[in-house]
Structure 1
Amino acid sequence: MKVDLLPDERIDMLYNDDVHIIQSKEVFSFSLDAVLLANFAQPRKNGRGLNVDLGAGNGAVSLFMAHKVAGQIVGVEIQERLADMATRSVQMNDLTDKITIINKDMRDIFTDIRPGSADMVVSNPPYFTVDNENTVMHEDEHYAIARHEIKADLDLVTYTAKKLLKNKAHFFMVHRPDRLFEILESLQKNHLAPKRIQFVYPKAGEPANVLLIDAIKDGALTGATILPPIVTHNDDDTYTKAVWDIYEGKSNG
């Protein structure tokens, strides 16, 4: 379906040009983290149930997961401009029968999504606390809210995921390794037991800069697996084969 673009918007393509997504460098553009999360998520029973994307942004994770789930995807995004971009991208990809975007604060979604009804929840939440001394708050409100915990913090995201999920259903999240212990504490507080953890490294020999985590609601705290690492770039700054395979849809997580 053809959609109208605003002056600052462009269309990017992924998965061998099968997915088209509206981007804007003035407002928001998805990063590699969204692609990694969509690849990492493993829906149960082919994703025939309800799948929820918390903090959907411009819809990147929902769109990238659409090919691997048979059921419905609901993307929740608090920012009206980003929710509109996501909605138009869904229309452009002819996925309105599979993906619905809700423009709401995640605190207010339970009239739209019944608690305990989701088979899978995914989230690429804001990474940085508001008072983080190592990051500069972006002047643009859209970027600031996407990167910093202005509208939603880690505890709100994990609590909302727990409330949405069915018993023994899975929560998949991408975050930063420097907040690992906070993440584990927040998950445990909300009865989400980590089962798979994967670290992502910008180059071989460098510290990890991305964390992927899979947790199960009301699961046992034993049995966690640390997966083999992902290295995203070669020494010449090109993507590694592993990352190109993900971008081209050849990897299943």
Structure 2
Amino acid sequence: MSTPAFSSDETLDSIGTAGVRVWQRRGGYRFTLDAVLLAAFAATEAGQVEGPLLELGAGSGVVSFLLACQFGLGPVDALELQPEVHARLTRAVALNGCDGRVRPVLGDLREARTSWASGAYAHVVSNPPFRPAHAGVRSPDDERAVSKQELTCDAAAVVAAARHSLPPGGRVSLIYPAARVAEVLGLLSAARLHPMALRFVHARAGAPATRFLVHAVRDRQRGLAVRPPLLAHGEGPGGYSPEVAGLMEPPRAERPAPLWEGHDGE
């Protein structure tokens, strides 16, 4: 299959063992390792849960494509707010052979109650903007700013959209900075999205946690399991830990550059 043309302002980037490819703007928001970790965590924790998935704030579609291509889940509705980002996501569907498995949706998660039916999805995933709207310096690039800071949605809006989207027993998987763990777990519990699994992400052994992954279930308390720490870097291929290298290595010679820069350049 030939590769469709793209503009000089775009790059075509590969990620994961299934060779997922996405278009990204050179000066826009670029996906990071967080997307890979979220997809793997969601697929692992979901277990035997079956049914359609929803990604809130899909961006270039990395998480949705990984869920479909690398982990065999789906169908996935990939919801994205920004029209230009959504257009690049749409162009990547055929490129990844995901017609019928990943459906790009242009929309606003804050309008979930009026945009799709309650309980329409078995599993919701999101790698949302990490930084509060007034924290730090806003990027002069609107695409990067909206993707990194809570300018168009905050954690409460993400949790509310997830709650609306799930039936009783439905699941949600999120990734956030470790410093926000108390806030996000509180929002989930208040919405009766009860945390089931929690895993902290560390750049290296002995380093403080930089991220956490959480998997929750709607309306059913099943107890919280704290998983072993996830180490991003180590002595595996590409300088990653063996666990992360096993998620990252594409099926050909070229390999993506290390992505552990995080949303905030960490």
Give the alignment's TM-score, normalised by structure 2. 0.86
SS for the counterpart of 1:90 is helix
Say yes or no: does 1:198 pair with 2:199. yes
Q: Deviations over 1:175-219 (max 9, x none)?
A: 111011110111012110000000000111111001100010012
SS for the counterpart of 1:209 is strand
Counterparts of 1:68-217 in structure 2, within 5 Å, are: 68-110=71-113, 112-132=115-135, 135-217=136-218
Classify 1:209/1:108 alpha carbon distance in 2 versus 1 (closer, same or farther; 3 Å).
same
Listed as ranges, the gaps of 5+ residues in structure 2 are 252-266
Q: Number of aligned residue pairs: give it.
A: 247
Q: Per-residue deviation at 1:46?
A: 5.3
- 1:60 corresponds in structure 2 to 62
- 2:219 corresponds in structure 1 to 218
Could you tell me whether the CA contact under 8 Å between 2:234 and 2:242 is conserved in 1? no
Supply the distance in 1 between the matched residues of 2:201 and 2:137 (Cα, whole angstroms): 23
Supply the distance in 2 between the matched residues of 1:69 and 1:112 (Cα, whole angstroms): 27
Supply the distance in 2 between the matched residues of 1:164 and 1:8 (Cα, whole angstroms): 35
Amino acid at match of 2:66: F
Classify 1:70/1:211 alpha carbon distance in 2 versus 1 (closer, same or farther; 3 Å).
closer
Q: Per-residue deviation at 1:235?
A: 8.0
Q: Deviations over 1:8-42 (max 9, x none)?
A: 11111123462111122311211000000000003
Amino acid at match of 2:223: G
Could you tell me whether the CA contact under 8 Å between 1:119 and 1:166 is conserved in 2? yes
Classify 1:83/1:103 alpha carbon distance in 2 versus 1 (closer, same or farther; 3 Å).
same
Could you tell me whether the CA contact under 8 Å between 2:202 and 2:210 is conserved in 1? yes
Could you tell me whether the CA contact under 8 Å between 2:199 and 2:226 is conserved in 1? yes
Supply the distance in 1 between the matched residues of 2:13 and 2:46 (Cα, whole angstroms): 29
Tell me the C-alpha RMSD between the 2 structures: 2.2
Classify 1:211/1:45 alpha carbon distance in 2 versus 1 (closer, same or farther; 3 Å).
closer
Could you tell me whether the CA contact under 8 Å between 1:83 and 1:103 is conserved in 2? yes
SS for the counterpart of 1:94 is coil
Could you tell me whether the CA contact under 8 Å between 1:44 and 1:119 is conserved in 2? no
Q: Per-residue deviation at 1:45?
A: 6.9
Q: Per-residue deviation at 1:152?
A: 0.6
Extract structure 1 runs of 4+ deviating beyond 6 A: none
Q: Per-residue deviation at 1:70?
A: 4.5
Q: Deviations over 1:46-84 (max 9, x none)?
A: 564110000101111001110324431101111111111
Amino acid at match of 1:108: E
Percent identity over paired residues: 29
Could you tell me whether the CA contact under 8 Å between 1:28 and 1:82 is conserved in 2? no
Give the alignment's TM-score, normalised by structure 1. 0.90
Worse-superposed segment, 175-184 or 60-69? 60-69
Amino acid at match of 1:89: A
Supply the distance in 2 between the matched residues of 1:235 and 1:248 (Cα, whole angstroms): 14
Worse-superposed segment, 193-202 or 109-118? 109-118
